[in-house]
Structure 1
Amino acid sequence: MQRSFDELGRPLRDITFCVVDLETTGGSAEGGSMITEIGAVKVRGGEVLGEFQTLVNPRTEIPAFIAVLTGITNGMVSDAPPIEAALPAFLEFASGCVLVAHNAPFDVGFLKHFAEQQGRPWPRFEVLDTAKLARRVVTRDDAPNCKLSSLAKAFNSATTPNHRALSDARATVDVLHGLMERLGGVGVHTFEELSTFSSRVTTAQRKKRHLAEGLPHAPGVYLFRDDRARVLYVGTSRDLRSRVRSYFTASETRSRMGEMVGIASVVDGIECATGLEAEVRELRLIAEHKPRYNRRSRFPERVHFVKLTREPWPRLSLVRRVLDDDADYLGPFSSKKTAEKCLAALHDTFPIRQCSDRMARDPRDSRSPCVLAEMGRCLSPCDGSVDEATYAAVVRQLRDTLLQRPDEVVDAINARMAALAEDERFEEAGNHRDRLAAFVRAAARTQRLSALTRCPEIIAARRDEPGRWEVHVVRHGRLAAAGVIPPGADAAGFVATLRMSAETVLSGPGPVPAATAEETEKILRWLESPGIRLVDVDGEWTCPVAGATRHLAVHDAVNQSRLSLVPFDDRRALSTVHQPPSLGVRS
C-alpha cells in the first residue's frame, strides 16, 4: 500500500498553532525590561479556536515613549495581574501548541526568562518565526520589507497592527495563513517542510520526496543512486526517513547537494542496529564506491607512514604501505605535508642517517661525509665516524620515542623554540612548533590505534537513550558485530550469539592492520565515551602512561588559539556585533 506525502511529516491542517505577541517596557528582559501585555490567538486548520489577552503590571514606570507608541499607560496596568499570575495562565492556554511569533526570539525569549525567574519548567514548545519564514518567501515585489505592518498589508490582513498585543497577534495569524497558502502551491504541506522551507530548494527537488517513503525511522546508512545505479552520495543518520526527506524540503541547501538530488533516481537505505555500526558502514561504503558528491573518506588508502627501518644502520623514511618486515611505523598521516613535518621533528632530535642507500654492516668504502655530517646533524656511519653500538643506542632511543615516551623530542624542540624566540627568530620557532605538533599528534594516534589493534577481541556495551543495551564486538580495531539486546532477553546468551556470528578478523602488521584509521578512531571514541561497560577483553588494551597523549592538550590549545586570531588588516573576518534594540516593540 503506497504511503501518501503527508505520511512523511505532520500535515499543517492537523497542527494547532498559538500565535503570540508581547508588549514590553524595553528590549531586554535580562536588562530589566518587563512585559506589559500578552495577546495570543489559537488556530487550527484555518479556524480560530480561542483568544487570550491580558495586561500585565510591570511594577515599574512605563517609559513615556513606550506609552505613546503602544497606548498602554501606567494607569491601565495598575490593577492588572503581575507576570507571576499572567504567565501560568498563558502557558495553560498555549499547552500542546506550536508557538508562532513575528520575530520569535524576542517574544519567546521574554517568556522563557520569566518562566526561569519563577522556577517554572519551560514546556518543550516547537517555535515558528513568521519573520524568518517571510524572509525566505516574500520578495521585494511583494513587500518593501518583512515588518509585520508591511506583511499584513501584503497579505490583506483583516487586522491592522497597532502595537497592541492581541491586534498584532491577529495580524500575525493572517500573515501565517498567507505564507502557508503561498507555500502550499510549491508542495509544502507539512509542519516539517514549513519550518525548514528555503527558496533555494527547487520544485523539482520537492517532487522527489517519494524517494524517502520506503525508508524506516531507524539508524542506518543511505545511498543516493543515479538512473544507472551508480552511487552518488553516502550518508548516515539516526533517523533514515527524516534525514533523506530533508534533502527534498529545505534542511539541505548546499548547492552541490541540490545538484546531486537533481541527478538521483533511487535512495537505498541500510538499517543498522546502532549508531556506531551506521558510522562504520558509511565509511566502508564511501571507500568502496568513492561517490563523487562525498568529499571526505573517499580515499583511505592515500596515507603515509614514517618508518624506522630494520637494517644495518637503520634510518627513517616516508612510505605509503605497512609491510610485515618487523619495522616500526608512525601514522597513518592523511597528508604528506604533515608526515614530512613529523619526519623533520625526528631528524632534528636524532642524528641518524638521512641517506636512502642501503649500507653494509661494516662500511669500508671510505665515503666523504655529507653536509649533514659536517653540520653535526648526522652520526655519519658511511665514513666510519660512529661505531655500531653507539648508533644502535641512538636508534633505541628513537624507537622508544616512537612507541612509548616522546619526551626527548618534545624537550629538544621546546628548547630550540625558546632559543629562537629569544633571538626574535619567530618564524623559525613557528616552523619547529608545527613540526612538534605534527609529531605529538602522530605519536598519540599511533599509540592509541596500536593499543586497540593488538587486542584480538573486545566486547563492550552501553545503555542507549531508550534504556536498551547496545553491544559491539571489536576485533583487532575493526567492528566485527553490533546488536541491541531485546527487552527481557538473556543478556549473556545474546552476547554469546553475537560473538559467534561476528566477522572473523585476522591480525596484521602495523598500527591499523584490520581497518582504516578513521574507522578504528570512531570505535575508540565510542569505547572511551561515558557509560561504556567492558564485557570481555582478549589481550591487553593499554596505552603507555608516559605516551604522547599527555602532550596533546597544549598543542590543541595553541591550535585553537591560532584559529581564533584575526589579523588587524583582515576586517572581513570580524563578525558584526548587533546591539539589542532599545524598544520592546516591533512594527
Structure 2
Amino acid sequence: MSLFSQAPGGGHQTPPVPFSTQPSPPTARSQPRQASLEELGRPLRDVTFVVVDLETTGTRSADNEITELGAVKVRGGQVLAEMAALVRPAAPIPPFISVLTGITDAMVATAPPIGAVLPAFLEFAHGSVLVAHNAPFDLGFLRQACVRGGYPVPEWEYLDTLRIARQILTRDECPDRTLASLARLFRADAEPCHRALADARATVTVLHGLFERLGNLGVTTLEDVHGFTRKVSPARRRKRHLADGLPTGPGVYVFRDRSGRALYIGTSRSVRARVRSYFTASEPRARMTEMVATAERVDAIACAHALEAEVRELRLIAEYKPPYNRRSRHPERAVYLRITDEPFPRLARVRAVRDGGTYLGPFAGTAGAELAAAAIHAAIPLRQCTARLSPRRSVPACALAELGRCGAPCDGRESPQEYARHVEAARRAITTDPSVVVAAARERIDSLAAEERFEDAAVQRDRLLAFLHGARRLQRLSALTGVAEMAAASPSGDGGWDIAVIRHGRLVAATRTPPRAHPRPWVAAAQASAETVCPGPGPTPCASAEETERIQRWLSAPGVRLAVLDGEWASPANGAAREMFRLGQGL
C-alpha cells in the first residue's frame, strides 16, 4: 500500500557507480568480439523499403477509416513490386473527402473491406522498413486497422520523409515540405494527387532524393538515418543508465545535479520508460537537453496510481521550485479578490486567504483579477476607494458617485444598512448566482455592438469571462473542499481498483487493490491510515487549488465510483458553470 505518510524524499535512489582503483588484470591479447548489428549498420542500398500511402475518411484514426491503400516495395533504388486497393469503409465517405481525393461511395461500393485487404498488405510489408510522408498518420490508421481486425500490431521500423526533409532541407529550397512540394523539388515522375498509389510512387522519388542528400553528409546506413533524425548527442545517450532500476509503474521522478539540487520533477505512468525517453529523440525540448546535460542522478518515488503521482509532483515542485519546471512552481503567487471586513466593504486584491470571508478566485495573475473586479463594479455599485470609511465621519465623494457608479457611503448618502445590500449582491454573485453581473455585462456588450464599438464590446466580454472563470473556479473548489471526507475508486484496467481518500480537497491516502479483490476492505484500510488534516479558511483550506482541481478531474473520469461521502458535494445549480455554458451556446 502506498500512503502519504511516506517522506517526500523517499523512494528509489539510483546509487552512484564508484570508479575502480585497481588496475585491470593484464591479458595476453585482446579477446575477439563480434560487432553488433547496430555497430555494423545496414547499408541503405541493401535495405528493403515499403513506401505506403493511405487515403482515409478523416484525420483521426480512432474515428475514421481507410478508403484506399497504395504501397511500393523498393531496394537499391529499384522498384520490386507495387500494391494498390480501394477499401470499402463502414460509413459513407464525407463529401469534402470525395472532392479532395476523387474517391466516392460508388467507387468503393464493390471494394473489399479493410479486413480483407490488410492481410495482403501485412504479408507484402513483412520484413521491410516502412516509409511514409508524415508516417505517424499512416501508421496510426494501419495500427487501428490491425486492432479492429484482431491482428497483432507489428512493431514496424519506419522512416518519415517529412521528418527527414525538415532536418536537411532549408525553407528556401522547400518552404512547406509537403509531398507535392518535395515531388517538384526532386522531379518525381508521379505527381501527388491524393490517390494512394500515385502518392506512394511520388514518395519513392522523394525518399531517394533525400538519401542522396544524406549520402553527402556521410549518412549511409539505416542506423545512421535513425541517428541523424534523432539528433541525440553521444553524451546524452550515455546517460541512459540513470534510468536503470527505476520503478516501472506510476510515480514521480526527480532529476538532480551533482550537488543534489532538484533540476526537474515529472510524473509518469511508467517512470523508467519516461526517464529513458529523456535520453532519446522522443524528448525534443531544448531546455530538457540542457537539463539532461547537467543531471547526475534521478530519484524516484513509486506511487499507487496516476493521481497520487500527479499530486506528489505538484507538492514537490512547490517545495523545491526546480529551475526547469515552468508550471506549478509558485502556487503562492495566486491572486484573490476579497470582500473586506469593514463597515463599508469593498473588493481588495490579496495574495493569501487568512479568514473566513468571501473570496473570488484564485486567479493566475493580477490582470485576471482586475478584469473580474471591473465586471463586478459595472454591475454592483460597490465603492472603489481604498480609504477606510466610518459611519460617524463623512468625507467628500469622488467622481464615481456623480456618474452613478457608487452610492457614496463616504459622504452619508447611503447608510451601512443600505450599502449592505450591494455587498450581499456581490457575495451572492460570487458564491451562488452570477446572473446580475452577467445581465449587466451582456446589456453593455449588446449596446456597444449596436454602436459598432466592437473593441469596447470585446473589453466588456473579457471582463465578464474573467469574472465567470474566477467564480466557477471558486464554486467548484468550495464544493469539494467543503466535504470532510470522501473515498473513491477507479478501475485500474487489470481488474483492480485505484483508491483515493480525500479530506477537504486534499489527497490523504492512495492505494491500489489486487485484481478481482473487493475494494471495501482496502478503502477502510486507506481511511484508517490516512493523513489527518486540520482545515483552514477559504476555498482551498488544506491543499493548493491545482491539487484540488487535479482531484476533481480524477473524480469526474468515467468509471470512478464514490465509496464514502461525509458531507454534501454539490455546486450551485445557478452558478457560474451554467452561465459559462449558456454563453458558449450563444444564449
Give the alignment's TM-score, normalised by structure 2.
Answer: 0.72
DSSP-derived class of the 2:438 partner? helix
Which of 553, 563, 572 pairs up with 1:544?
572
**Where does the alignment leave 5 or more consecutive residues of structure 2 unmatched?**
1-13, 16-36, 59-65, 88-110, 187-198
Partner of 2:370: 340
Letter in 2 for 1:407: S
Are the aligned partners of 1:29 and 1:110 in contact in 2 as well (CA < 8 Å)? no
Equivalent residue for 1:278?
309
Counterpart of 2:277? 246
Deviations 1:482-502 (A, max 9, x none): 111112544221111111111
**Which amino acid in the other structure matches residue 333 of structure 1?**
F
Paired residue type of 1:309: T
Change (3 A) 1:197 1:478: farther
Q: Provide the rounded CA distance (Å) in 2 between the counterparts of 1:84 and 1:428.
A: 55
Cα-to-partner distance string for 1:483-538 (whole Å, 9 max, x where unaligned) = 11112544221111111111111111000111111111111111112111000101
Deviating more after overlay: 484-493 vs 208-217: 484-493
Q: Which sits farther off after the overlay, 259-268 or 308-317? A: 308-317
Equivalent of 2:498, from 448, 470, 475? 470
C-alpha offsets along residues 113-150 of structure 1, whole Å, 9 cap, x if unaligned? Answer: 9979xx9567534441253564477799xxx9999x99
Q: In the alignment, is the contact (CA less than 8 A) between 1:52 and 1:90 conserved in 2?
A: no
Q: Which amino acid aligns with 1:263?
A: T
Paired with 1:85 and 1:357, the residues of 2 have a C-alpha distance of: 76
> Is the 1:133–1:197 Cα contact (8 Å) retained in structure 2?
no
Aligned CA RMSD, in angstroms, stands at 4.5
Task: Tell whether 2:541 aligns with 1:513.
Answer: yes
Deviations 1:380-409 (A, max 9, x none): 112110123221222222211111100000
Structure-2 residue corresponding to 1:93:
123
Distance 1:337 1:98, change over 3 A: farther
* 8 Å contact from structure 2 (residues 488, 501) kept in 1: yes
Q: 2:386 aligns with which of 356, 359, 376?
A: 356
Name the CA distance, whole Å, in 1 between partners of 2:113 and 2:559.
Answer: 42
Corresponding position of 1:485: 513
**CA–CA distance in 1 between the matches of 2:474 and 2:562?**
22
- Correspondence for 2:346 among 315, 340, 351: 315
Aligned residue among 256, 259, 270 for 2:290: 259
What is the identity, as a one-letter code, of the residue corresponding to 2:266?
Answer: G
The farther-off stretch of 292-301 and 465-474 is: 465-474
2:146 aligned with 1:124: no
Evaluate the alpha carbon distance shift between residue 130 and residue 402 of structure 1 in structure 2; reply closer, same or farther with a 3 A threshold.
Answer: closer
Task: Kindly provide the amino acid, as one letter, of the partner of residue 124 in structure 1.
Answer: V
Q: Which of 465, 480, 491 in structure 2 is aligned with 1:437? A: 465
Aligned equivalent of 2:300, options 259, 266, 269: 269
One-letter amino acid of the structure 2 residue matched with residue 444 of structure 1: R
Q: 2:250·2:305 contact (CA, 8 Å) conserved in 1?
A: yes
Contact 2:252 2:300 (8 Å CA) reproduced: yes
Provide the residue aligned with 2:236 in structure 1.
Answer: 205
Partner of 2:413: 385
CA deviation after TM superposition for structure 1 residue 83, in Å: 9.8
SS in 1 for 2:405: coil
> Is contact 1:200-1:253 (8 Å) kept?
no
| Counterpart for residue 561 of structure 1 | none
2-side partners of 1:356 and 1:483: how far apart? 50
**3-state DSSP of counterpart to 1:497:** helix
Question: CA–CA distance in 2 between the matches of 1:352 and 1:471?
Answer: 46
- Determine if the alignment matches structure 1 residue 289 to structure 2 residue 320: yes
Q: 2:55 touches 2:69 (CA, 8 Å); kept in 1?
A: no
Q: Report the residue type matching 1:305 in the other structure.
A: Y
Which SS does the other structure have where 2:300 is aligned? strand
Closer, same or farther: CA 259–184 of 1 in aligned 2, 3 Å: same
CA deviation profile, 1:38-76 (whole Å, cap 9, x unmatched): 6489xxxxxxxxx995776989xxxxxxxxxxxxxxxxx
1:224 to 249, 255, 260: 255
Within the candidate set 325, 332, 338, 1:301 is matched to 332
Cα distance in 2 between the residues matched to 1:37 and 1:479: 53
Q: What's 1:67 paired with?
A: none
Displacement of 1:313 in angstroms is 1.8
Shift of 1:89: 5.0
Q: Report the residue type matching 1:436 in the other structure.
A: L
554, 568, 574: which one aligns with 1:526 = 554
Distance 1:499 1:449, change over 3 A: same
- Whole-angstrom distance in 2 between the partners of 1:434 and 1:107: 38
Name 1:448's counterpart in structure 2: 476
Sort the Cα spacing of 1:497 and 1:33 in 2 relative to 1 into closer, same or farther, 3 A.
Answer: closer
Which amino acid counterpart does residue 421 of structure 2 have in structure 1?
A
- Maintained 8 Å contact 1:353/1:378: yes
Aligned residue pairs, count:
488
1:159-216 Cα shifts (integer Å, max 9, x gaps): xxxx999xx79x99xx79999975757xx9xxxxx5x974543221111111111212
**Equivalent position to 1:237, from 254, 268, 288:** 268
Q: Distance in 2 between matches of 1:551 and 1:467?
A: 40
Note if 1:500 corresponds to 2:531: no
Q: Among the aligned pairs, what percent are the same residue?
A: 42
Residues 83 and 384 (structure 1), Cα distance of their counterparts in 2 relative to 1, 3 Å cut:
closer
Asked if the contact 1:136/1:199 (under 8 Å) is kept, the reply is no
Q: Supply the AA of the counterpart residue of 2:363.
A: F
Separation in structure 1 between the aligned mates of residue 502 and residue 431 of structure 2, nearest angstrom: 23
* Separation in structure 1 between the aligned mates of residue 464 and residue 519 of structure 2, nearest angstrom: 47
One-letter amino acid of the structure 2 residue matched with residue 426 of structure 1: F
For residues 57 and 369 of structure 1, what CA distance do their matches in structure 2 show?
82
Amino acid at match of 2:316: L
| Structure 2 counterpart of 1:327 | 357
